[in-house]
């Protein structure tokens, strides 16, 4: 039984932009039935504007404040078990890394620079990749963030060459084990 001191743990997806967090989150939601919460979508809905507009109007630091505040809110002791899909930069602030671990089972979806480039190329929604040389931006950000994803993750999955169903199956098997251990 879960009580006040042991709130149910969620399944949290982390990883770089274009690593498939939202897609895998939807597949996991279909299999497990836990509510799906996409942090970027909720931030946009609350702000009444897109992430691109938030970055343009108020700057990245403001977006990070909204992201950190939302993460804090999600850690409430009475929160239900959910599947949580995060934004790729959520690991940058140390307090967020702690909160991610508090939230539950943290799965890092790893994707190669090539895959990320392909998946993000035609989409203008990601302000950090709207540069002359998106590949260089990806390489630089990945180098800075990989150790941070590694610090947070209970499980990492290299998604290269795998379908969404295959990735989700891997996550499901490990998550079911984690949850049956009383978490």
> Which residues make up the interface to ligand S3P (CB under 6 A)?
17, 21, 40, 51, 87-89, 126-128
Rg over CA atoms, the chain: 16
Which CB, 64 or 101, lies closer to ligand S3P? 64
The nearest distance, CB 128 to ligand S3P, in angstroms, is 5
The nearest distance, CB 175 to ligand S3P, in angstroms, is 20
The nearest distance, CB 52 to ligand S3P, in angstroms, is 8
Q: List beta partners, residue 36.
A: 83
The nearest distance, CB 87 to ligand S3P, in angstroms, is 2
Which CB, 17 or 32, lies closer to ligand S3P? 17
CB atoms closer than 10 angstroms to residue 97: 18
Contacts of 4 (CB under 8 A, 6+ apart): 77, 78
Which CB, 99 or 126, lies closer to ligand S3P? 126
The nearest distance, CB 64 to ligand S3P, in angstroms, is 8
Q: Which stretch of DSSP H or E encloses residue 5?
A: none
Q: Output b/e per residue, 68-81; b: 16+ Cβ within 10 A.
A: bebbeebeeeebeb
DSSP 168: H
Which CB, 32 or 54, lies closer to ligand S3P? 54
Contacts of 166 (CB under 8 A, 6+ apart): none
Which CB, 48 or 182, lies closer to ligand S3P? 48
3-state secondary structure of 120: helix
């Amino acid at each position: 039984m879960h009580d006040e001191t042991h709130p149910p743990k969620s399944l949290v997806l982390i990883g770089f932009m274009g690593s498939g967090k939202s897609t895998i989150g939807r597949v996991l939601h279909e299999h497990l039935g836990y509510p799906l919460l996409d942090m970027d979508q909720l931030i946009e809905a609350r702000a009444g504007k897109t992430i691109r507009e938030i970055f343009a109007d108020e700057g990245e630091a403001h977006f990070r404040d909204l992201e950190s505040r939302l993460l804090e809110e999600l850690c409430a002791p009475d929160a239900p078990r959910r599947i949580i899909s995060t934004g790729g930069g959520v690991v940058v602030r140390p307090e967020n890394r702690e909160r991610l671990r508090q939230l539950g089972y943290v799965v890092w979806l790893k994707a190669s620079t090539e895959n990320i480039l392909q998946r993000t190329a035609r989409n203008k929604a990601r302000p950090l990749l709207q540069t002359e040389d998106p590949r260089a931006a990806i390489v630089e950000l990945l180098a800075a963030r990989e150790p941070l994803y590694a610090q947070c993750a209970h499980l990492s999955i290299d998604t290269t060459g795998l379908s969404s169903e295959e990735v989700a199956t891997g996550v499901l098997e490990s998550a079911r084990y984690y949850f049956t251990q009383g978490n």
